[in-house]
């Protein structure tokens, strides 16, 4: 496997733009800084969600027609629900399309200083939010759901989705929603307007990330790491205010707290979600323990430490939060740059389409190529575009597009296969059996899991050899390759499902005291990551807030961990049960059986419970078993390397 793209950095979007997470997907949580050209150009998660943007303008007049009044013994609730949902879906698609078209323009035609697109986008999002969160719609949804025993499962799923959407912008508490929007805008401005400095000079977060990957002087590394945390204290008052506003907003529709609201999108209670993420950490703990021990000793040698520390110093790791250690190992891998350069920029996209067609998917609609923005703009262009790779579902129908800047190199080869995974997911669940409200991934993690899996499948050695892109006899160090992959994937799980999820659960659901925010963070880092700060970090700091998601994409970071777990489960099943190949060396190309397996997962959208889909298709519940099995060959190597070393996890 190659580098997992991860669920995208949810690029700082306030709730006013969260609907757009269903319109588009993009990467990468790990590789790119967040764009911030204009407010309207913000992106959200790669794993699509069903969040509706909020607005300050109540618009009950935009609500769907009322269901038949209650109290009549003759009332047919099934017919009433069908009438309501037909009209609701029609208006939902109309407003959704307007909003996504506006967002597309804001991302593909950026003129510095011109606020026309931003204004158009804001107005479109406000109209959508006013409709979804209207008091009239909320009342009708509640009335119909009070009689769910008389409705079909598909009707109930749609109504519950619409009510979940409404909880993000309930016009029943319009004043509170207005306060939250204002507070989120202020927090976002602080978050992206902050100027980081190192050795007295302004630097970007990309600069800091690169320095942490490459700097070898321990003293300088500590100063770089500390520079990356400077922003934290500036965000504390705003974050505490947002906790109250977010909790109060969703409490208006009966959710106990914001973390519970986010977990409910999976059909899980807060307690069930926490039980799930803790289970995943437990399953991966033995593997992480070996990697943690290996990294402590190897880094102690690298930085000439007199004694190997019991816990990893945060400043030794090549990532600001210790979530990805991949750059600790360099592997002479399968670089395709030379051969791809000869094929031209059109090759990666067209070859990715041919791959999906070989699995039995249809050709892309002609409008995909006509309307997408696939290549870098010429140097003479009078406007700019967002260079984050993303996949868009503009009308919840056949209008699918991608925003990329494809060049003929290894990275874009992988990216095009990844992004078309999202595009084909959109097209597959766009069918008459899936109403527009449910045209999204089976859960927020599924979309990214499938996109990433397809990008990875396209990089495995037999796949590349089959296309003639490499010599089948090319030699690689399989152990070092697997070690690099483990250092990329495995440390992310204790960070995402451990530190981040536990901290936000405590923050929103347990009302973590304001004078314990940083102490709680570092206690969790030590518990889950075995990582400690270089010096004491008191409550004058707020290190969790340096992670942008804590501010602008709250209480759902476990999505990213779950997408990793699902990816390995699906890949393991395809390799072992369908292709009968080694999961480390597969070739999906041309397998109609693989294509059918994927389409069966994609086709229902979110109309079926994600747990049922996973169990039916793989025979397993959600589990880290496949991920552990993938890295099992590495355990022998790690245990040999760690023989005689002290374990502290």
Q: What is the Cα gyration radius of the chain?
A: 24
pLDDT for residue 165 is more than 70: yes
138 pLDDT band, cuts 50/70/90, is very high
Within 10 A of 461 (CB to CB), how many other CB atoms are there? 19
The pLDDT tens digits of the residues spanning 394-408 come to: 999 999 999 999 999
Helices (H), ranges, 525-579: 548-552, 558-573
20 pLDDT band, cuts 50/70/90, is very low
Q: Which of 193, 191, 225 is nearest to 208 (CA)?
A: 225
User: For strand 201-203 and strand 196-198, is the pairing parallel, antiparallel, or unpaired?
Assistant: antiparallel
Tokens of 555: 């209480």
CA distance 190 to 201: 19
Q: Please tell me the predicted confidence (pLDDT) of residue 75.
A: 82
Helices (H), ranges, 359-409: 366-371
**Helix (H), strand (E) counts: the chain:** 27, 7
pLDDT for residue 66 is more than 60: no
Q: Which of 155, 9, 15, 47 is nearest to 453 (CA)?
A: 47
Tokens of 85: 């949902």
Q: Which of 575, 584, 596, 590 is nearest to 633 (CA)?
A: 584
pLDDT for residue 40 is more than 60: no
Q: Please tell me the predicted confidence (pLDDT) of residue 53.
A: 32
The residue assigned the tokens 């906790």 is: 243
The pLDDT tens digits of the residues spanning 603-645 come to: 999 999 999 999 999 999 999 999 999 999 999 999 999 999 9
**Burial label, 380 (beta-carbon count in 10 A; 0-12, 13-18, 19+):** exposed
Q: Please tell me the predicted confidence (pLDDT) of residue 27.
A: 39
First to last CA, the chain: 27
CA distance 272 to 276: 6
In a 13 Å sphere around the CA of 92, the CA atoms on its Cβ side amount to: 32
Tell me the torsion sign for CA atoms 507, 509, 514, 518: negative
Tokens of 285: 């703990």
**Low-confidence winner among 42-51, 140-149, 157-166 (lowest mean pLDDT):** 42-51
**Burial label, 518 (beta-carbon count in 10 A; 0-12, 13-18, 19+):** buried
Tokens of 611: 């747990």
The average pLDDT across 429-441 equals 97
The pLDDT tens digits of the residues spanning 472-511 come to: 888 888 899 899 999 999 999 999 999 999 999 999 999 9
SS3 388: coil
pLDDT for residue 294 is more than 60: yes
11 pLDDT band, cuts 50/70/90, is very low
pLDDT for residue 140 is more than 90: yes
pLDDT for residue 37 is more than 50: no
CA distance 372 to 369: 6
Which domains, from first to last, does the chain contain? 15-177 (no CATH), 185-332+489-556 (1.10.1370.10)
In a 13 Å sphere around the CA of 532, the CA atoms on its Cβ side amount to: 10
CA distance 245 to 181: 9
The average pLDDT across 251-274 equals 96
251 pLDDT band, cuts 50/70/90, is very high
55 pLDDT band, cuts 50/70/90, is very low
Under DSSP, the state recorded for 456 is H
The answer to whether 32 and 64 are in contact (CB under 8 A) is no
CA distance 563 to 4: 10
Tell me what the pLDDT averaged over the chain comes to: 88
Q: Please tell me the predicted confidence (pLDDT) of residue 13.
A: 30
155 pLDDT band, cuts 50/70/90, is very high
The answer to whether 293 and 645 are in contact (CB under 8 A) is yes
Within 10 A of 492 (CB to CB), how many other CB atoms are there? 24
CA distance 21 to 100: 10
């Amino acid at each position: 496997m190659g580098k997992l793209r991860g669920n995208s950095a949810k690029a700082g979007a306030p709730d006013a733009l969260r609907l757009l997470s269903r319109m588009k997907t993009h990467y990468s949580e790990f590789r790119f800084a967040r764009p911030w050209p204009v407010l309207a150009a913000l992106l959200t998660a790669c794993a699509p969600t069903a969040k509706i943007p909020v607005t300050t303008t109540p618009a009950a007049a935009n609500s769907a027609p009322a269901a038949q009044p209650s109290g009549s013994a003759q009332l047919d609730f099934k017919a009433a629900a069908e009438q309501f949902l037909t009209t609701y879906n029609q208006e939902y698609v109309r407003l959704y399309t307007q909003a996504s078209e506006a967002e597309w323009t804001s991302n593909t035609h950026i003129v510095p200083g011109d606020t026309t697109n931003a204004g158009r986008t804001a107005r479109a999002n406000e109209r959508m939010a006013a409709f979804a969160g209207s008091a009239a719609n909320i009342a009708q949804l509640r009335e119909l759901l009070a009689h769910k025993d008389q409705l079909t499962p598909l009707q109930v799923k749609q109504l519950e989705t619409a009510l979940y959407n409404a909880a993000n912008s309930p016009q029943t508490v319009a004043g509170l929603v207005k306060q939250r929007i204002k507070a989120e805008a202020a927090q976002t401005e602080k978050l992206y307007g902050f100027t980081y400095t190192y050795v007295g000079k302004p630097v970007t977060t990309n600069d800091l990330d690169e320095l942490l990957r490459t700097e070898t002087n321990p003293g300088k590394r500590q100063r770089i790491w500390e520079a990356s945390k400077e922003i934290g204290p500036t965000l504390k008052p705003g974050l505490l205010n947002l906790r109250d506003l977010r909790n109060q907003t969703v409490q208006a529709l009966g959710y106990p707290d914001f973390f519970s609201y986010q977990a409910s999108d999976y059909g899980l209670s807060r307690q069930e979600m926490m039980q799930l993420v803790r289970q995943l950490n437990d399953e991966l703990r033995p593997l992480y323990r070996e990697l943690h021990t290996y990294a402590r000793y190897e880094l102690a040698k690298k930085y000439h430490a007199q004694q190997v520390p019991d816990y990893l110093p945060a400043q030794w790791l090549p990532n600001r939060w210790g979530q990805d250690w991949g750059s600790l190992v360099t592997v002479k891998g399968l670089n395709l740059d030379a051969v791809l350069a000869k094929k031209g920029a059109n090759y990666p996209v067209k070859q990715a389409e041919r791959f999906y067609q070989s699995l039995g998917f249809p050709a892309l609609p002609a409008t995909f190529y006509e309307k997408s923005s696939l290549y870098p703009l010429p140097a003479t262009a009078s406007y700019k575009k967002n260079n984050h790779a993303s996949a868009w579902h503009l009308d919840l129908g056949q209008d699918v597009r991608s925003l990329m800047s494809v060049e003929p190199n290894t990275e874009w080869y992988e990216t095009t296969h990844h992004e078309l995974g999202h595009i084909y997911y959109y097209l597959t669940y766009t069918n008459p059996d899936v109403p527009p409200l449910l045209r999204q991934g089976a859960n927020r993690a599924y979309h990214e899991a499938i996109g990433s899996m397809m990008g990875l499948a396209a990089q495995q050695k037999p796949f590349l050899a089959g296309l003639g892109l490499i010599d089948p006899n090319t030699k690689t160090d399989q152990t070092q390759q697997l070690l690099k992959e483990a250092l990329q994937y495995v440390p992310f799980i204790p960070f995402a499902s451990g530190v981040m999820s536990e901290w936000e659960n405590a923050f929103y659901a347990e009302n973590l005291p304001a004078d314990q925010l940083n102490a709680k963070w570092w206690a969790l880092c030590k518990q889950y990551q075995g990582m400690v700060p270089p010096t004491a970090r008191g409550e004058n700091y707020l290190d969790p807030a340096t992670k942008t998601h804590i501010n602008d994409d709250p209480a759902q970071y476990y999505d990213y961990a779950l997408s990793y777990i699902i990816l390995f489960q699906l890949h393991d099943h395809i390799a072992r049960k369908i292709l009968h190949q080694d999961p480390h060396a597969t070739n999906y190309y041309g397998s109609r059986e693989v294509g059918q397996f994927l389409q069966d997962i994609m086709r229902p959208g979110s109309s079926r419970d994600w747990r049922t889909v996973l169990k039916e298709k793989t025979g397993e519940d959600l589990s880290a078993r496949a991920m552990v099995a993938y890295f099992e060959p590495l355990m022998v190597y790690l245990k040999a390397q760690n023989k005689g070393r002290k374990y502290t996890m």
